[in-house]
Amino acid sequence: NAGVTQTPKFQVLKTGQSMTLQCAQDMNHEYMSWYRQDPGMGLRLIHYSVGAGITDQGEVPNGYNVSRSTTEDFPLRLLSAAPSQTSVYFCASRPGTGTLTGELFFGEGSRLTVL
């Protein structure tokens, strides 16, 4: 099983450039989310989606856009990269949206450096 697949695994950008981090899951999960992980900050929720066509903001949404046109894909777009967006990004999904389905399945992460 592929599970949650993120691409690219590594990326270096210059300030002001745009890019899209791709996330795909093959488990037919309703819920998908993006986190960033920074030293001393833990994982912080950027955006999440409870199904195709539905997205919402998390804790740190500024500077990021998302869309959910299909159940499988949940891309994260950086419109104008800033050094503060240097981080490790994780995409995660889970089967349902109720309290008993809390296990998040994570991708391997995307390490982004903005110069």
Partner 1 sequence: RKEVEQDPGPFNVPEGATVAFNCTYSNSASQSFFWYRQDCRKEPKLLMSVYSSGNEDGRFTAQLNRASQYISLLIRDSKLSDSATYLCVVNVGGFQKLVFGTGTRLLVSP
The answer to the question of residue 26 lying near partner 1 (CB under 8 A) is: no
Q: Is 34 in the site for partner 1 (CB under 8 A)?
A: no
14 in contact with partner 1 (CB under 8 A): no
Instruction: Choose between 89 and 114: whose C-beta lies nearer to partner 1.
Output: 89
- C-alpha closest to that of 22 among 70, 76, 62: 76
Applying CB under 8 A, which part among 7-15, 40-48, 67-75, 78-86 lies near partner 1? 40-48
Task: State the number of binding residues for partner 1 (CB under 8 A).
Answer: 25
Q: Which of residues 65-94 bind partner 1 (CB under 8 A)?
A: 90
Cα separation, 10 vs 31, in Å, equals 25
Give dist(CA 12, CA 14) in Å, integer.
7
| Closest C-alpha to 106, from 10, 13, 11, 37 | 37
Taking CB under 8 A as the criterion, the residue among 5, 43, 73, 86 binding partner 1 is 43
Cα 110 vs. chain centroid, distance in angstroms?
9
Partners of residue 24 on adjacent β-strands: 5, 73
Name the residues that contact partner 1, by CB under 8 A: 31, 33, 35, 40-45, 48, 50, 56, 58-59, 90, 97-99, 102-104, 106-109
